[in-house]
Amino acid sequence: MRLLTRFAALALIATPNIALAAAPAPVPAPGFQIGDTWVYDRTHEVGANGFSKQTIDLTIDRVDAETMLVGIKPDGAPSAFVDHITGLDWSQRRMVDGQETVTGRPFLFPLKIGSTWTADYVQPRPQGVQTSAHFHTTYKVVGWEDVVVPAGTFHALKIEANGTAEGQISTPASAVASVVATPSGGTSVAHSERAHSGVVHVITYDAFYYVPEIKYYVKRIEEQYNGDNVRTVRDTDTLVSFKAAH
């Protein structure tokens, strides 16, 4: 018995000390107050040449048990805020077939590295030639990163979202008649197209950089790619300032 004890003690001495790093604590849901205000710079890129930039203001106008009212407007605009109902986790919601449906959920609190969740819904209402659309997005908490934005440098928790969208399109038959003027007189031209339908595929990518003391992201990148994996749109939000209500 003494021999076994001696060997056990020697084994402990010979084994190097290994420091086990504690896993980061999950990030809890924020507590909102009426008057919390954010200002963001937003850039919008379309294709290779399209570019625009604006500054937008967000403010909390109301906080309920499960939702809040967020006012949005261009920075400095004399118009009133346009209010949007969102979840207390910043989830976006829409009425689909008479039912309130979550269409996007960038955060699922408590946020823990490695956690994943999804958002999936079908938009049945026609929009132009699009008759319906199916959206599916998978979110994942990736890890902590340092991010530099106009408001400063922040240690942020990165959440990535990869998604797909499939839109059903239908183009009705059409006929066009016109008159082209020539030196010898007018010439009638007729053109017709058959009705056709198909599916449009879009790939989406989002990255959110969430900072607990800001109660929201300090940076967001949102991208869309066509069926050939070519980026067609990119929107980028960066925090300019945040003011907590007192």
pLDDT tens for each residue of 140-155: 999 999 999 999 999 9
pLDDT tens for each residue of 183-237: 444 444 444 556 567 778 899 999 999 999 999 999 999 999 998 999 999 999 9
Cα distance between residue 2 and residue 195, in whole Å:
91
Cα distance between residue 15 and residue 153, in whole Å:
41
- What local confidence, expressed as pLDDT, does residue 36 receive? 98
Averaged confidence pLDDT in the chain: 84
What are the beta bridge partners of residue 25? none
Cα distance between residue 128 and residue 7, in whole Å:
79
- What local confidence, expressed as pLDDT, does residue 1 receive? 44
| pLDDT mean over 126-135 | 74
Predicted structure pTM score? 0.79
Q: Is the pLDDT of residue 18 over 50?
A: no
What are the beta bridge partners of residue 99? 96
- What local confidence, expressed as pLDDT, does residue 98 receive? 80
pLDDT tens for each residue of 23-44: 789 999 999 999 999 999 999 9
Residue with tokens 């407007």: 73
Per-residue confidence band for 168, with pLDDT thresholds at 50, 70 and 90: confident
Domains defined for the chain, CATH in brackets: 26-243 (2.40.360)
Q: Is the pLDDT of residue 94 over 50?
A: yes
Burial annotation 115-148 (CB, 10 A radius, 16+ → b, else e):
eeeebebebeeeeeeeeebebebebebeeeeebe
